[in-house]
Amino acid sequence: MSRTNFRNKSAKNEEFKEHLVTVNRVSKTVKGGRIFKFSALMVVGDGKGRVGVGMGKSGEIPDAIRKGIEDAKKHIIKVNLHKDTIPHEVIGKFGATRVLLKPAPPGTGVLSGGSARAVIEAVGIKDLRAKSLKSNNPGNVVKAVIKGLKSLCSVERAAEVREKTISEILG
C-alpha cells in the first residue's frame, strides 16, 4: 500500500530569503547580577508571493536567529499579487500601528521604511509605496504589513464581487 500524500522534507525547505528585522536585548536582574537574553524578529520569503514572520528567543544571538527562522517557516502565508505589485490599496492594522500599502507603477521600486521593506522584499513585490502611520514599533509594523497583505483579494475575486470583467477593473 503506497502513500499518495507523501511529503518530501527537502521540498519544504525551498529557497527562502531570510531577513533579520530586529534584535532586542532584555536583561533580568538576579542575586548574582544580570542575565541577558536576546529576541530576534525574522522574515522569510521565497520572492514569489509567500512570506512568514517569526520570533526567536535565546541566550545567544545566533540561536535566537535560527529559532526565529524556524518559527517564520511555520507561519508562511500566500499573498495575492498582480504583476510586480499588489492589486489594490490596503491598510494593515496591528495594535496601535497602521501601515498603508499602495500599488505603484512599474519602475517605481519599493518606497518603504526598514521593517516594512523586509516583508515587502521577502514577498517579491518590486513596485509598492508603504507608509507607517501612528506607531513605528518594528514588531507591530511587520505584523500590520502581514495583516494587510493577508487581506488582499485577487483581481479575479474583485471583478466577481463587483460583477465586472477583469479588463474593467484594471482599466
User: Is 3.10.20.740 the CATH classification of the domain at 9-77?
Assistant: no
- Residue 83 pLDDT level (bands cut at 50, 70, 90): confident
pLDDT of residue 71: 95
- Residue 15 pLDDT level (bands cut at 50, 70, 90): confident
Amino acid letter, 134: K
Which residue ranges make up each domain of the chain?
9-77, 79-170
Q: Please identify, in words, the CATH class of the domain defined by 79-170.
A: alpha beta
Q: Write down the pTM of the prediction.
A: 0.84
Q: Do the domains 79-170 and 9-77 match in fold?
A: no
Q: Which three cell numbers stand for residue 152?
A: 488582499
Q: What distance in Å separates the CA atoms of residue 28 and residue 24, rounded to the nearest whole number?
A: 13
Q: What values do phi and psi take at 89, rounded to 5?
A: -70, 145
- Residue 154 pLDDT level (bands cut at 50, 70, 90): confident
